[in-house]
């Protein structure tokens, strides 16, 4: 008996029990659909996180003071004053892997314009900060090197600050705002970046020359941090090692002495969040894959029922020359047809569900070809695996006993 005839027989057997066949497929449909939907949500989350980290500056390196022991008491890194302007200048002048370096000092407080006010943070930086943190000007201009040298009371404001202080749509350029009673003239506004992956509003900030914040706001000479950008992401580790050597030399740290600074990169954050996202995706896929297992058990159950119902038919076929391999192929093809048809419907259902999630709750999704092929391959293997044993049992029936079966 050739394969074409076996397929026709299998299709006829399924068409004679349409409702039973559909209910058997339902487990496969739900399983495949769930796997594709969960993987699409997981991959969408991963891509969204990577995109938002890239917007924050995927090549970003952050240098901050490290904790230290003083009088037997470990100090907080925020209380340390180990980073100086000389460190910033050394890093800017001596490194080979950095395209931009900016000192950073910051202060939080109330910013006021007329009758409007809001809590915000003012950052003292230089012109490279925009490149490092991927900000761009919306209107006006960035402060100049002359403004830094003279500690000018000028600033650039983010969109959130503009919306809160100028709710009537007034042009903020040229206006005077006050931060901790100190007047700052707005000379530019930043394009909106929205919230980052950690839920922080990237538009709620004020940028000013770092010398202005050091002298007029905080009255300090040290730096809170130094931000830098690597010209290629693959050189991040080399840049970190180079920065560490420069700072250890500047701070006169003896060999074996612990660093009095910490260096972090967005690459580390990206790797950590990507690993977490991948783990969640795998867990979601495993949970959804349980449905495939249940669907496979359903196929095995129905194939057992089918073998029992058609025992006499099997005996008649074998008595007129059908071999055991033909009977096995016949029932195995039925199981495979159920799983493939269910898989195809499940793929469409999964893609539709993922798109519905994106449309209804605006959650990022990414349907990738490998997830569809993997789900379809798994459901096919499921059909073969769970259909094999009932088919083998049918092939091993004794023809005479089968014909006598009531």
The CA radius of gyration of the chain, in Å to the nearest whole number, is 34
Can you give the pLDDT at residue 56? Answer: 61
- The verdict on 174 and 35 lying in the same domain is no
- Does some domain include residue 135? yes
CA distance 62 to 50: 18
Q: Which helix (H) or strand (E) holds 290?
A: helix 266-309
How far is it, in rounded angstroms, from Cα 82 to Cα 305?
Answer: 78
Count of other CB atoms within 10 angstroms of residue 117: 14
Same domain, 242 and 107: yes
Which residue, 259, 281, 304, sits at the end of a domain? Answer: 259
- Say yes or no: 229 and 184 in one domain: yes
Position 8 in a domain: yes
Same domain? 31 vs 115:
no
Do 227 and 287 lie in one domain? The reply is no
For residues 162 and 183, state if they share a domain.
yes
Residue 91: other Cβ atoms inside 10 A: 22
Say how many C-beta atoms besides its own lie within 10 A of residue 151's C-beta.
Answer: 17
CB 147 within 8 A of CB 209: yes
Note the pLDDT of residue 403. 67
Question: Number of structural domains, the chain?
Answer: 2
191 and 130 belong to one structural domain: yes
Half-sphere exposure for 317 (CA within 13 Å, toward CB): 20
Which of 218, 234, 259 lies at the terminal end of a domain, its last residue?
Answer: 259
Are both 39 and 122 inside the same structural domain? no
Do 249 and 368 belong together in one domain? no
DSSP 12-75: HHHHTTHHHHHHHHHHHHHHHHHHHHHHHHHHHHHHHHHHHHHHHHTTEEEEEEPP-EETTEEP
Structure tokens at 70: 């003083």
144, part of any domain: yes
**Structure confidence at residue 72 (pLDDT):** 45
Q: Is residue 267 part of a domain?
A: no
Tell me which of 259, 291, 318 is where a domain ends.
Answer: 259
Helix (H) or strand (E) holding 119: strand 116-125
**Predicted model pTM:** 0.63
pLDDT tens digit string along 307-329? 776 677 767 777 777 777 777 77
Residues 99 and 222 in one domain: yes
Please check whether residue 203 lies inside any domain of the structure: yes
Residues 247, 278, single domain; the answer is: no
Domain of 90 in residue numbering reads as: 81-259
Q: Are residues 93 and 145 in the same domain?
A: yes
Each of the 406 residues of the chain gets a pLDDT tens digit; together they read 567 776 777 677 667 777 877 777 887 888 888 888 888 887 787 777 666 666 665 588 999 997 555 444 445 545 567 899 999 999 999 988 999 999 999 999 999 998 899 999 999 999 999 988 889 999 999 999 999 999 999 999 999 999 999 988 889 999 999 998 899 999 999 999 887 656 678 899 999 999 999 999 999 999 999 999 998 878 888 999 999 999 999 999 888 888 889 998 876 666 676 677 677 777 777 776 777 777 777 777 777 777 776 677 767 777 777 777 777 777 778 778 888 888 888 888 888 888 888 888 877 888 888 878 877 787 778 777 777 777 777 777 776 666 665 5
Question: Has residue 164 been placed in a domain?
Answer: yes
């Amino acid at each position: 008996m050739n394969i074409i005839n076996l397929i026709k027989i299998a299709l006829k057997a399924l068409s004679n029990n349409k409702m039973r066949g559909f209910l058997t497929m339902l487990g496969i449909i739900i399983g495949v659909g769930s796997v594709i939907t969960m993987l699409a949500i997981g991959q969408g989350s991963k891509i969204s996180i990577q995109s938002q980290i890239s917007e924050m500056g995927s090549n970003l390196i952050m240098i901050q003071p490290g904790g230290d022991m003083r009088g037997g008491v470990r100090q907080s890194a925020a209380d340390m004053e180990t980073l100086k302007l000389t460190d910033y200048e050394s890093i800017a002048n001596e490194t080979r892997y950095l395209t931009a370096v900016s000192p950073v000092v910051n202060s939080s407080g109330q910013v006021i314009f007329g009758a409007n006010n809001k809590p915000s943070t003012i950052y003292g930086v230089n012109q490279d900060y925009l490149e490092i943190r991927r900000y761009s000007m919306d209107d006006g201009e960035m402060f100049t090197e002359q403004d830094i040298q003279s500690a000018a009371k000028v600033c650039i404001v983010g969109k959130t600050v503009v919306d809160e202080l100028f709710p009537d749509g007034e042009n903020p350029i040229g206006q005077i705002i006050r931060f901790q009673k100190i007047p700052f003239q707005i000379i530019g506004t930043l394009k909106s970046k929205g919230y980052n992956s950690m839920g922080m509003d990237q538009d709620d900030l004020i940028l000013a020359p770092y010398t202005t914040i050091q002298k007029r706001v905080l009255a300090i000479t040290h730096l809170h941090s130094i931000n830098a950008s690597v010209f290629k992401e693959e050189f991040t580790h080399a840049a970190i090692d180079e920065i560490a050597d420069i700072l250890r030399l500047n701070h006169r740290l003896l060999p074996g002495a612990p660093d009095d600074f910490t260096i972090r990169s967005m690459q580390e954050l990206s790797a950590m969040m990507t690993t977490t996202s991948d783990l969640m995706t795998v867990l979601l896929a495993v949970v959804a894959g349980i449905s495939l297992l249940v669907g496979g058990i359903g196929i095995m159950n129905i194939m057992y029922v089918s073998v029992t119902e058609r025992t006499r038919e099997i005996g008649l076929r074998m008595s007129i020359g059908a071999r055991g391999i033909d009977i096995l192929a016949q029932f195995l093809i039925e199981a495979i047809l159920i799983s493939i048809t269910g898989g195809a419907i499940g793929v469409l259902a999964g893609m539709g569900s993922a798109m519905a999630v994106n449309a209804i709750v605006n959650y990022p999704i990414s349907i990738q070809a490998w997830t569809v092929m993997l789900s379809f391959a798994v459901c096919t293997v499921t059909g073969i695996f769970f259909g094999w044993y009932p088919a083998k049992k049918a092939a091993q029936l004794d023809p005479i006993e089968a014909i006598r079966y009531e």
